[in-house]
Structure 1
């Protein structure tokens, strides 16, 4: 059975490789012989580790009792075969760890028998029968999931490698794992040689199995990618070795260089940063153990460790990631992959005690040296609170492609988070929504970003893959809280154009917790039109809670239609404007996302300001907006032209200005009062603002007046062209002189 191998093993002689072949006894990737000994000495004395180990043992014992099932691949995501192969790789990884820590051979036998079943099945398979993916896998409908399988299975294989008879490990290496690594890389270059989270998984899976087999050619392939590669293996050099891509366009290191900013922000957005961080960190941990000379955690000024901090800060008060770009709501740092990421960051990042509080909330650890360190730190009470503060996270490899701004206000009674997106496009998962924002209170969405249109791993919904509405609605500008011009999405929904442009930071200042400000400009979304959005999070004596001041300035060379939505949740309570409800619903327009919006009602502002109040989660909210008499006010709802009910039926209020050149949208968003259904009592159900007015708007300055019902007025003035802190300004408004230093005045 083990003597006739169908694949000739190839070894590289690439001279420029800086990786030394360090053969050593297994395990030596995520677990090492030293860490296994240390863990065994601590068992029974580290509560979180012990509890995690017990839970893992229970899971794997049940899997062993159920028996091995390696079905012929057939289904899309969420289907039986997809789910079973996913369970298999997760159970194998766990079983390998249990074998090392508990020294019970039943776990090694389970992994071995499973691997032999896969090795027997693999040569019989063509690419997956489901043809949806651009890169179909073997066991799964896309190579991405095959790389998940190999990344986890490599860890299991490492744990039983020395236990296996040499003829079995040789057989698995030559007849299964090496061909599988070749399939994911040289046979699928459009998957492997990209800058994308898919390729990160591909690179890591090939690198991980290369580390297990002490195959430096595979490790180099993972780190640097391949040049001029096709399925005919035309990338061989004169010595028969593969030509590595050293020009920064492919491979693990390039996927560290390009998508991550110096601040650790991942350009695809936090949902996919969460997904990519596991392979990034698990491979880094393996490289640190096996190839410490690479100093991978120091690469790009320690960007991997910075990325963990950035990712944890890209969450609301409940730990759920902000759904920027393609992002499924509800995903949080409680996912199992982030348990590993937090542990690794703690272990290799100077054991920051703030990470322990996240690990404590996760209530589980990785079963290796990193997890043990975390468990010991928790046992010894070393944790400190991980306080999410206001911050700006730059985008782009050099940090010069815009940013995400996060303003937060925290006290004992209230937590508010304001997120503004002024980034680059975000690769293929990017949405066309420059200068959009979302607002959170106590972890609940107040003004929402729609996120992606997909039911991940729900087979009934397009096999768990992206729904067509992701492209026809969720990515379009009108689906976000920003301005759409002439019912056309930013960059005319052109990926190449969008990818070549980004917004520009103008101002970010959170030094005063009571008046925090962020401001950015977008000059490329529409030819001849410039956008400048400024958002403030303000806490003053007149308000129990912070409120948001939103200023969106538009400068254009010609007349346009501007549509500005706010996507809220809940029940309309009152409006200051009259509207007519539609008896027969119709979509707003026929393309660019508008075709998915029902027009439920429409009215005219007929005033210099409007007010809109709604109730959600027993809390009252109001938007007070400066308007012109002829502005249309549209009450809309998502769901038109959606016969399969793939979209959520969420409401929006849209302020629409027609035949307008330059203009300003200015609004106040406030949370006020609550409703007690038991006492049937409404408390502070009315807005505390009387009006907001635009009192100056020119090239140099924009000034707003905020009128409170108490009789107090405040003035906000923004210098539109000079954000320098030491700049001095003077402006006369209605006969009164205002003088200040810095970018803005608020008093």
Structure 2
């Protein structure tokens, strides 16, 4: 059962169709139009947004309307033209309402009738790659994009059209369009995935404009009796329906979101899905307020906006967990929508206004007006990002993602569920940032989105052969095999488990989790701490990965960095001819640029990037191997970024412990040609105790000061009392860890 106050399906279906007031009513309302016209010219950010839209639409109108016969993948002319058109339908409709200029209504009308004339005879798209081909676009997903935006344009000119014109558009274009992306493509529409969210919102938006409660029911609850097994999967690797066999918009609000607002596919696709989630919710709130959509699942859709903003770095770029394109940020159009609607319906949080100020534009509707007035009145406050832990899974019981923050250093620790079809095989992986710069990276996706020359702008084969594989991430790999054998069927059944987290200590932020299913018979236990020490320029990271297994294995532990190698304390050789590290599971894409044997004690590796120095100090023994790697082997089309890595390997080991400290320090100015604090401040990192109960690490700086960190490996209650004697010293503490 759904957890919100929405009526059950039976009572809802019996409800008669209602229209609350006249059009427009979806996103911009009739009352909103009146207030906007009254305030226009006195609300700077809104006025500027209107002017930008006006210039854009006027330029398109001058070019004339083009609705070409579809033939291209994303990035091609026909794809981009139809995409451009649906944006213009929405913007021109809004301009008609705000400026009361009939030329914009005529432009929307003419374009819609041009689509109406072509749609009835339009075959499915000629490109056959998608599991659900559209008509205007190569996939139903983009057809749904079109209908979401076109619905808003239609709503804005609804009263401008005659009854006969509306009937012609609805009977020949909008209803057939809605039927095509839903009942004719249930494998697209009736599942839990960001694709389906767009489809559900598209059908629901046009339903609200037309007052069609049958279509609205289909949008909210999916297609009844679609003939698809509840456990079936589409060929994109996602389950068709949720755990209860339900589909539709409400199922997509229930299943992918945790109670904290984390979206299981990751922030990149959460960003993409937030537009239909919020725009349809806004429309439902305006037209069907009795559904109380913003209260659904304890207000999860508004929590999701806060979660997404917190899953961005100092520059606003989203952390590229799972399939995620780097550089996507809260400056995107989807987040303008999210911030504005969340502000209007989320108790007008003044911190959201500071994000809107950075975005420097607002929606041309009721929510955009509210934000513009708030900014004008000077009530904005900085959006403060703190250390945060987000649970994953519909009940918040499928692992999660933690972000440790101290000053301008951020550590992202992923111990989440698979993430549906966009998930990567990277349990207990992490990445590190400083002032928005990646220090240790997650590769993200292998795709050039909407660039036609690169596979039609779609996912490249290297996304599966490299980006999704475990070796592409900063985590442990056993026997050169990806987690869960790199198989979705296995990975989707499991998730990592949180041990504990603690962000309440000013000196240290800690998170710990374990994974028992990535490799049968092997347990991975990783603890990460961000430590502030007055003897260090910046907070540093302590990384502890403990591995226990029922057999002897090879363990690889990569760190993917950026920049130039500065210094090492071990001997290595560089080959004259580059060869791949392995033959499969992503190893075939890694060139070996150097190889050496580790030291007994510590290996130190320093590099320089973006004006800063960084050093990794790791505990090793003489049997360990060290590899310098470079992404790009077996890449004839140059689809992969040629980026470096530093990898530790333990051979013939049953149980193993990887312990490292990563520090950022110093600077270099190419103008003054002066290097400051370019060397590590770590003298030694040492394991002073380790068993199945406790792991203790001593960190000694170059001045001789020692910090001791002890993590509990079994009893992780925050109230448990502990006593441990190490080398004659007694340590007593309460909770899951000790630090002093």
User: What secondary structure is seen at the aligned counterpart in 2 of 1:470?
Assistant: helix
Structure 2, unmatched stretches of 5+, are 1-8, 229-240
Q: How many residues are matched?
A: 719
Structure 2 counterparts to residues 452-471 of structure 1, below 5 A: 452-471=445-464
Cα 1:128–1:230 change in 2 (3 A) is farther
In the alignment, structure 1 residue 632 sits paired with structure 2 residue 625: yes
What's the counterpart of residue 240 of structure 1? none
| Counterpart among 76, 79, 94 of residue 79 in structure 1 | 76
What's the counterpart of residue 677 of structure 1? 670
In the alignment, structure 1 residue 517 sits paired with structure 2 residue 513: no
In the alignment, structure 1 residue 67 sits paired with structure 2 residue 60: no
What's the counterpart of residue 32 of structure 2? 35
Deviation at 1:15, TM superposition (A): 5.8
User: What secondary structure is seen at the aligned counterpart in 1 of 2:168?
Assistant: helix
| Counterpart among 708, 713, 723 of residue 715 in structure 1 | 708
Per-residue displacement from partner, 1:612-632 (whole Å, max 9, x unpaired)? Answer: 000001110000000111100
| Counterpart among 649, 654, 659 of residue 666 in structure 1 | 659
Cα 1:183–1:245 change in 2 (3 A) is farther
Q: What is the CA–CA distance in structure 2 between the aligned matches of 1:688 and 1:531, rounded to whole Å?
A: 29
Q: What is the CA–CA distance in structure 1 between the aligned matches of 2:332 and 2:534, rounded to whole Å?
A: 40
Query: 1:226, 1:245 within 8 Å by CA — same for their partners in 2?
Result: no
User: What secondary structure is seen at the aligned counterpart in 2 of 1:648?
Assistant: coil
In the alignment, structure 1 residue 203 sits paired with structure 2 residue 196: no
Q: What is the CA–CA distance in structure 2 between the aligned matches of 1:150 and 1:533, rounded to whole Å?
A: 46
What's the counterpart of residue 418 of structure 1? 411
Per-residue displacement from partner, 1:595-642 (whole Å, max 9, x unpaired)? Answer: 000011100003221000000011100000001111000000100000
Q: What is the CA–CA distance in structure 2 between the aligned matches of 1:188 and 1:149, rounded to whole Å?
A: 16
Q: What is the CA–CA distance in structure 1 between the aligned matches of 2:324 and 2:128, rounded to whole Å?
A: 24
Structure 2 counterparts to residues 477-626 of structure 1, below 5 A: 477-626=470-619
Per-residue displacement from partner, 1:492-546 (whole Å, max 9, x unpaired)? Answer: 1111111110000011100012211000010110000001100000111111210
What's the counterpart of residue 446 of structure 1? 439
Q: What is the CA–CA distance in structure 1 between the aligned matches of 2:622 and 2:84, rounded to whole Å?
A: 61
Query: 2:191, 2:242 within 8 Å by CA — same for their partners in 1?
Result: no
| Counterpart among 685, 698, 702 of residue 705 in structure 1 | 698
In the alignment, structure 1 residue 645 sits paired with structure 2 residue 638: yes
Deviation at 1:714, TM superposition (A): 1.6
Deviation at 1:341, TM superposition (A): 1.1
User: What secondary structure is seen at the aligned counterpart in 2 of 1:516?
Assistant: strand
Q: What is the CA–CA distance in structure 2 between the aligned matches of 1:334 and 1:16, rounded to whole Å?
A: 38
Query: 2:192, 2:242 within 8 Å by CA — same for their partners in 1?
Result: no
Deviation at 1:247, TM superposition (A): 4.8
Q: What is the CA–CA distance in structure 2 between the aligned matches of 1:350 and 1:19, rounded to whole Å?
A: 30
Deviation at 1:719, TM superposition (A): 1.0
In the alignment, structure 1 residue 46 sits paired with structure 2 residue 43: yes
What's the counterpart of residue 380 of structure 2? 383
Per-residue displacement from partner, 1:207-238 (whole Å, max 9, x unpaired)? Answer: 0011111111100000000133269xxxxxxx
Deviating above 3 A after TM superposition, structure 1's stretches of 4 or more consecutive aligned residues are 13-16, 244-248
Q: What is the CA–CA distance in structure 1 between the aligned matches of 2:265 and 2:356, rounded to whole Å?
A: 25
Deviation at 1:245, TM superposition (A): 11
| Counterpart among 319, 324, 330 of residue 333 in structure 1 | 330
Q: What is the CA–CA distance in structure 2 between the aligned matches of 1:379 and 1:31, rounded to whole Å?
A: 20
Q: What is the CA–CA distance in structure 1 between the aligned matches of 2:557 and 2:337, rounded to whole Å?
A: 41
Q: What is the CA–CA distance in structure 1 between the aligned matches of 2:166 and 2:313, rounded to whole Å?
A: 47
What's the counterpart of residue 6 of structure 1? none
Cα 1:692–1:429 change in 2 (3 A) is same
Moved more, 266-275 or 726-735: 726-735
What's the counterpart of residue 729 of structure 1? 722
Query: 1:187, 1:230 within 8 Å by CA — same for their partners in 2?
Result: no
In the alignment, structure 1 residue 310 sits paired with structure 2 residue 303: no
Deviation at 1:278, TM superposition (A): 0.4
In the alignment, structure 1 residue 366 sits paired with structure 2 residue 359: no
User: What secondary structure is seen at the aligned counterpart in 2 of 1:285?
Assistant: helix
Query: 2:242, 2:255 within 8 Å by CA — same for their partners in 1?
Result: no
Q: What is the CA–CA distance in structure 2 between the aligned matches of 1:246 and 1:633, rounded to whole Å?
A: 45
What's the counterpart of residue 232 of structure 2? none
Q: What is the CA–CA distance in structure 2 between the aligned matches of 1:513 and 1:359, rounded to whole Å?
A: 30
What's the counterpart of residue 184 of structure 2? 187
Query: 2:625, 2:648 within 8 Å by CA — same for their partners in 1?
Result: yes
Deviation at 1:16, TM superposition (A): 4.8
User: What secondary structure is seen at the aligned counterpart in 2 of 1:17?
Assistant: helix
Structure 2 counterparts to residues 44-123 of structure 1, below 5 A: 44-123=41-120
Structure 2 counterparts to residues 111-190 of structure 1, below 5 A: 111-190=108-187
Per-residue displacement from partner, 1:19-45 (whole Å, max 9, x unpaired)? Answer: 542124211111111111111111011
Q: What is the CA–CA distance in structure 1 between the aligned matches of 2:394 and 2:668, rounded to whole Å?
A: 48
User: What secondary structure is seen at the aligned counterpart in 2 of 1:161?
Assistant: helix
What's the counterpart of residue 233 of structure 2? none
What's the counterpart of residue 435 of structure 1? 428
What's the counterpart of residue 237 of structure 2? none
TM-score relative to the length of structure 1: 0.95
Structure 1, unmatched stretches of 5+, are 1-12, 232-243
Query: 1:224, 1:245 within 8 Å by CA — same for their partners in 2?
Result: no
TM-score relative to the length of structure 2: 0.96
